[in-house]
A and B are shown apart, each in its own frame.
Chain A
Amino acid sequence: MSFVARRLEFFFITAWAALTVNFILPRIMPGNPGQAMLVRFHGRVSPQTIKALEVAFGVNTDQPLWQQYLQYLANTLRGDFGTSLTFFPEPVGDVIKQGLFWTLGLVGLATVIAFVLGTLIGMLSAWRRGGFLDAILPPVFIVISAFPYFWLGLLVLLLFSITLGWFPSGFAYDLTSSINLSWSFVGEVIWHGLLPALTIVVTSIGGWILTMRNTMITTLAEDYVKMARAKGLSPVRIMLMYAGRNAILPNLTGFAMSLGFVISGAILVEIVFNYPGLGFTLLQAVHSEDFALMQTLFLLITLAVLVAVLAADLLTAWLDPRTRDSAGV
């Protein structure tokens, strides 16, 4: 129990530090939103109006920093993220809601699939080292993962969508559909998501295969694996419960981190496949010095990484008793 308490304590301290850095960083960036607004309104509005807008945006620069900071903490806890400058006058929460679902669905699922498949392939190819699987899959996927995503994405799009016409060339669902829960709509979403998901899986799977395969090979040489073999346990049981369970630990931490980064979206995927998502939104926010939107997105990313790491820590403790013991001492 004390292990869990320690992890939680660490989690909250890190979250607070992240919140604070998140507050400070945009404020030490060059330029300021007031100026960006002036450019935007192109001298049509008086300085008084800009001031009023700044107050509405929550970037009133007259307030002392500590007061802004307290207000920021309070607003964040309440879930009030302010008004986006880029998408004025839309509230930041609404802007994020628009992309969040698609990002989680596409990038999240693709990351999980890549991890599961990659880990399995890595495990199998280490188990049958030098076998057919080991000779073909790891090298192929590692070569593919070295391709620039943009190039691969465009190639896939050109081939399967534009030339062959098997898949739609963009969007998350048919243009004129509205979002609903019917089977036909779910079908559309899967249909539209297939190509982008496929490219994400194909380009990211190489890394999982490689780390899993390498750790697995080391693990297979361990005494307890020999012991298990000597006991006459079934090969599947040895592979999964003795070697696999231990070899997966480094991969798991990596997986937790990558889950956290799902929130930041896949900007290239969104651009190539014209897919809605948060990655492009983040880019726009940074370009237009949209503090409110930027802060909220960074905050989400940080929190997601922290939660994922916390989950991975707890999972590792369950899988590997040694971490529990040393932490508990």
Chain B
Amino acid sequence: MRRHRFPVVGLLASLALIVGACGGSSGTTGTQRTTGGVLTIDNESGALWQCDFNPYNGSVNGQSFGILYEPLVYDNLLNDKKTNMLASAYAWSPDNKTLTFTIRSGVQWSDGQPFSAADVVFSFNLMKQHPELDLQSVWTVLSSVTQDGTDKVVMTFAQSAVPNFYQIAGQTAIVPQHIWSAFKDPVTQQIKDPIGTGPFTMSQCTGQNITFTRNATYWQTGLPYLQTVNYPAFLDNDPANAFLATGQAQWGGQFIPNIDTYYVARDKANNHYWFPPINNINIWFNTKTAPLDNKVVRQAFAFAIDRASVSQKGEYGYEPPGNQTGVLSPTFDSWIDKTQADKYGYKFDTAKAVSLLQQAGYTKDSSGIFQDASGKKLSFTIINIAGYTDWVASVQVIQDNLKQAGIELKAQNLESNAYFDKLFTGNFQLAYGSLNTSPGPNPYYELRNTLHSGTTAAIGATANGDYGRYSNPAADTLFDQFGATTDTAKQHDLIKQVEAIMLEDVPVIPVTEGVAWYQYSTKDFAGWPTEQDPYAAPAPWNLPDWEIVLTHLYKKS
């Protein structure tokens, strides 16, 4: 049993052209999609529900952000397609330092009060006053948020911050001023009766289940189609998997070992799954310690590891092998510089790893492990999370691979608090794991948080990213330039230059690609996101994407 998955704070995605979810026009016409149906979600929550619907509390926002409280713009995690939600339009100023949203008119809170630009300004300034609520750290880039006229909200930035659009417009929930302004301390406030603009309202909450009911006054007329959504709480993976496999739930976000026999085979015609990659699972090098500060040693690691075998043996083949450019494939294939990647040709090649180490001046001792001129062995410790059994298995494969190449690796499997403490403070030689921040709708987000020296910290201090303390002014400049342009051709070019750094310097090794776990049954419901129609990141824990999925699903008649 493994629990890893994105913290609920995490991912998202967006999009949607199709069913017309966007403008309020769709959904009402054409197909015979009638209103009705009870859909049940299946997702191990690891605890009973706290009936608290505060979208700014990272441990409970997974039960409210999207479905109850909406963002300004939905930005699809899988392909960066943007759909206007509470904003009907937005525009960057020419210097990309001012962002102006036009707020949608005719939207109502679920208590009947009108929604307005004042609510948007209130929500952002609330996060400024209470940094604990600022889950996406939007105020690290924002300078001010003010209302302009009746329906405009103007945001200014100290420097151009184009990619932060994703966090600001796509990942920030808007709450009602008329309710929230009465809270004495919004940080410790429990929200038992949530009022939002979303397609559903919360109608009942017990520790074991939350029931959401269709919001009849939702601004996208005719949506949603579903009448009721049940979201049961599962303490552990096994009962959740059994519930899904027996057809008691229709939408899963579960890791299921042997999914083909356990789940699909029970109803071959209707049970499906799709696991799109959304982040990298890396080996992090502490680049401040010798000999890991030597890029040749790191390159040797990259040749010595059999990523395909790690994917097969450690991850049941569900999580595909990573690639050294650090760009997710196939999710972000259009960003990958194939020519350059081929030039470096990273693949499982023990002989190449050995020759690199020999060139770097290492010689093998009698036990077959390389040592330097002073007799110091190439022997390292890698930290990992003991509870993530798939990661533990993956590291075993890696240990084996490295041994063949003459590198000794010792695994240190830690309890998660201890692991994150070491990871964030740089107190490790090697670490296995992914970034603890949300990925984003293009490769910039993950690569920047992995490599930009602005996200790191001295060893001993807490780093928000770049746990390996990698520092390269050239990389920093590339990311800063990316942040200052809305020109996608230029952005692609910049990411290709970052890929060159990944290939040459090997600051981290992307070993496998973490995926959005997603199972669905087409027996009673249709409108699911698929590989052919990736209108949203598909796991129920992808926020706020689950809102988009729930507005697309309809009961088959």
Chain B residues with CB under 8 Å of A40's CB are 58-59
State the CA gap A270–B235 with chains docked (Å).
8
**Which of A169, A175, A177 makes the CB contact (< 8 A) with B239?**
A169
Shortest beta-carbon distance, A94 to chain B, in Å? Answer: 9
Chain B residues with CB under 8 Å of A328's CB are none
Chain A interface residue count, Cβ-Cβ cutoff 8 angstroms: 49
Chain A residues with CB under 8 Å of B415's CB are 287
Q: Which of B526-556 contact A (CB under 8 A)?
A: none
**Interface contact B208-A276, CB-CB below 8 Å:** yes
Q: Which of A83, A90, A172 has the largest number of chain B CB atoms within 10 A?
A: A90
**Interface contact B421-A44, CB-CB below 8 Å:** no
**Interface contact B132-A176, CB-CB below 8 Å:** no
Chain B residues with CB under 8 Å of A89's CB are 52, 57, 187-190
**Interface contact B246-A169, CB-CB below 8 Å:** yes
State the CA gap A37–B208 with chains docked (Å).
26
Contact with A along B194-217 (1 / 0, CB 8 A): 000000000010111101000000
Residue B158 is within 8 A (CB to CB) of chain A in the complex: no
**Interface contact B232-A175, CB-CB below 8 Å:** yes
Residue B88 is within 8 A (CB to CB) of chain A in the complex: no
Chain A residues with CB under 8 Å of B464's CB are 42-43
State the CA gap A173–B436 with chains docked (Å).
36
Chain B residues with CB under 8 Å of A31's CB are 417-418, 421
**Interface contact A272-B239, CB-CB below 8 Å:** yes
Q: Which of B229-250 contact A (CB under 8 A)?
A: 230, 232, 234-236, 238-240, 242-243, 245-246, 248
Chain B facing A: main interface SS: loop
Shortest beta-carbon distance, B309 to chain A, in Å? Answer: 31
State the CA gap A98–B206 with chains docked (Å).
9
State the CA gap A162–B242 with chains docked (Å).
8
Q: Which of B46-92 contact A (CB under 8 A)?
A: 46-48, 50, 52, 57-59
Residue B108 is within 8 A (CB to CB) of chain A in the complex: no
Residue A280 is within 8 A (CB to CB) of chain B in the complex: yes
Chain B residues with CB under 8 Å of A90's CB are 50, 52, 190
State the CA gap A87–B415 with chains docked (Å).
19
Shortest beta-carbon distance, A89 to chain B, in Å? Answer: 4
Q: Which of B40, B46, B48, B204 has the largest number of chain A CB atoms within 10 A?
A: B48
Shortest beta-carbon distance, A269 to chain B, in Å? Answer: 11
**Interface contact B230-A175, CB-CB below 8 Å:** yes
**Interface contact B236-A271, CB-CB below 8 Å:** yes
**Interface contact B132-A274, CB-CB below 8 Å:** no
Chain B residues with CB under 8 Å of A246's CB are none
Shortest beta-carbon distance, B262 to chain A, in Å? Answer: 11
Shortest beta-carbon distance, B500 to chain A, in Å? Answer: 30
State the CA gap A172–B207 with chains docked (Å).
10
Shortest beta-carbon distance, B257 to chain A, in Å? Answer: 14
State the CA gap A202–B239 with chains docked (Å).
21
Residue A38 is within 8 A (CB to CB) of chain B in the complex: yes
**Interface contact B235-A171, CB-CB below 8 Å:** no
Residue in A closest to B237 when the chains form the complex, CB atoms: A271
Chain B residues with CB under 8 Å of A171's CB are 208-209, 232
Contact with B along A19-52 (1 / 0, CB 8 A): 0000000000001000110111111111001000
**Interface contact A36-B187, CB-CB below 8 Å:** no
Known: A43-B464, A88-B57, A99-B48. A274 touches B230 (CB 8 A): no
Chain B residues with CB under 8 Å of A281's CB are 48
**Which of B207, B239, B242 makes the CB contact (< 8 A) with A276?**
B207
Residue A313 is within 8 A (CB to CB) of chain B in the complex: no
Chain B residues with CB under 8 Å of A56's CB are 188
Contact with A along B324-357 (1 / 0, CB 8 A): 0000000000000000000000000000000000
**Interface contact A98-B207, CB-CB below 8 Å:** yes
Chain A residues with CB under 8 Å of B437's CB are 42
Residue A309 is within 8 A (CB to CB) of chain B in the complex: no
**Which of B57, B204, B248, B436 makes the CB contact (< 8 A) with A178?**
B204
Shortest beta-carbon distance, A150 to chain B, in Å? Answer: 10
Residue B370 is within 8 A (CB to CB) of chain A in the complex: no
Residue B137 is within 8 A (CB to CB) of chain A in the complex: yes
Chain A residues with CB under 8 Å of B236's CB are 271, 274
**Interface contact B208-A172, CB-CB below 8 Å:** yes
Chain A residues with CB under 8 Å of B232's CB are 171, 175
Contact with B along A95-108 (1 / 0, CB 8 A): 00011000000000
Chain B residues with CB under 8 Å of A170's CB are 234, 239, 242-243
Residue in B closest to A170 when the chains form the complex, CB atoms: B239
Q: Which of A112-131 contact B (CB under 8 A)?
A: none
Chain B residues with CB under 8 Å of A258's CB are none
The 8 closest A-B pairs by CB, nearest first: A274-B239, A89-B188, A175-B209, A271-B236, A170-B239, A43-B464, A98-B207, A45-B131
Q: Give 12 pairs: A residue, B residue, CB < 8 Å, sorted on A.
A: A38-B462, A86-B47, A87-B59, A89-B187, A98-B207, A162-B246, A169-B246, A170-B239, A170-B242, A176-B211, A271-B238, A274-B240
User: Which B residues lie at the A interface, using CB under 8 A?
Assistant: 40, 46-48, 50, 52, 57-59, 131-132, 134-135, 137, 187-190, 204, 206-209, 211, 230, 232, 234-236, 238-240, 242-243, 245-246, 248, 415-418, 420-421, 424, 436-437, 462-464
4 A-B pairs besides A90-B52, A274-B235, A274-B240 with CB distance below 8 A are A31-B417, A44-B137, A56-B188, A175-B208
User: Which A residues lie at the B interface, using CB under 8 A?
Assistant: 31, 35-36, 38-46, 49, 53, 56, 83, 86-90, 98-99, 154, 157, 161-162, 169-173, 175-179, 270-274, 276, 280-281, 284, 287-289
